[in-house]
Structure 1
């Protein structure tokens, strides 16, 4: 004697739930890759900008009025912190950094014979993953050393 087929639960539609779940996971991975790439590219741009600003700050910070009034010393060039900060700010303005990275902030430190520039700019993420921040900040540091070749 044959049993009649059960009319209870059917497994029909289970594949749809699995496919939708994989699609959601795939979309989140794509968003993560796109956002990571955007952050990496912005950090690379800020890194280059920070290096250029540090070089300008070291160059103009060490060739201020002291050099013109007293000449170049034998072993060490004195860095003028105020002059280095002005040079970095002027460099960032001339290079269009503030237009390219809206909200850009910078800090300049003078450590003995070194100028260190720290840049930070907000990043609008192209895609968002639920639960992740919509805006984040990317930063970069650059430094340049001043010395006398003799």
Structure 2
């Protein structure tokens, strides 16, 4: 009976392939984590700016010597209007350096009763690019504020 010799399969190079594959996978995971963190931080920055702009715009209706010196009298509202709210919110964003920090920033100011709503959108600036991810994306943040008028009893 002829003696068969079992030939062992050559496994050289398998470890190298595994290490290279794992390194590529790990690099993609790091890129995704870094990009998601950057997007979250940019969104939080936009929300903070939107909140400040909305509060500034809502308080814009309460500015002026007549309000501080004589009060509102029997007037129940502060008289917010679209033009004033937009102007005050835009001025706040300009003073805060929003357009320098977020190039391409767009702002929309709207009134809903006594509430001022500020919506900001800016191009998403990602530090790393993951293959297959969209090249251009926008991220946004919304802030709102209300100024309530209380009478002397606090109601």
Q: TM-score, normalised by structure 2?
A: 0.84
Choose 105-114 or 38-47, whichever is displaced more.
38-47
Partner of 1:31: 31
Q: Distance in 1 between matches of 2:47 and 2:140?
A: 8
Partner of 2:10: 10
Q: Does 1:125 align with 2:126?
A: yes
Q: Distance in 1 between matches of 2:80 and 2:24?
A: 55
Choose 73-82 or 88-97, whichever is displaced more.
73-82
Residues 78 and 149, structure 2, Cα contact 8 Å, conserved in 1 = yes
Residues 31 and 127, structure 1, Cα contact 8 Å, conserved in 2 = yes
Q: Distance in 2 between matches of 1:77 and 1:59?
A: 9
What is the SS of the residue equivalent to 1:44?
Answer: helix
RMSD: 2.4
Q: Distance in 2 between matches of 1:140 and 1:61?
A: 23
Following superposition, the deviation at residue 62 of structure 1 comes to: 4.8
Residues 62 and 80, structure 1, Cα contact 8 Å, conserved in 2 = no
Moved over 4 A (4+): none
Following superposition, the deviation at residue 67 of structure 1 comes to: 6.0
Q: Does 1:21 align with 2:21?
A: yes
Residues 61 and 78, structure 2, Cα contact 8 Å, conserved in 1 = no
Partner of 1:146: 147
What is the SS of the residue equivalent to 1:135?
Answer: coil
User: How many residues are aligned here?
Assistant: 148
Q: Does 1:41 align with 2:35?
A: no
Q: Does 1:115 align with 2:116?
A: yes
What is the SS of the residue equivalent to 2:7?
Answer: coil
Residues 57-87 of structure 1: CA distance to partner in whole angstroms, max 9, x if unpaired?
A: 11114547x969x962442222111100011
What is the SS of the residue equivalent to 2:124?
Answer: strand
Choose 105-114 or 128-137, whichever is displaced more.
128-137
Following superposition, the deviation at residue 5 of structure 1 comes to: 5.1
Q: TM-score, normalised by structure 1?
A: 0.87
Residues 124 and 134, structure 1, Cα contact 8 Å, conserved in 2 = no
| Unmatched segments (≥5 aa) in structure 1 | none
Partner of 1:78: 79
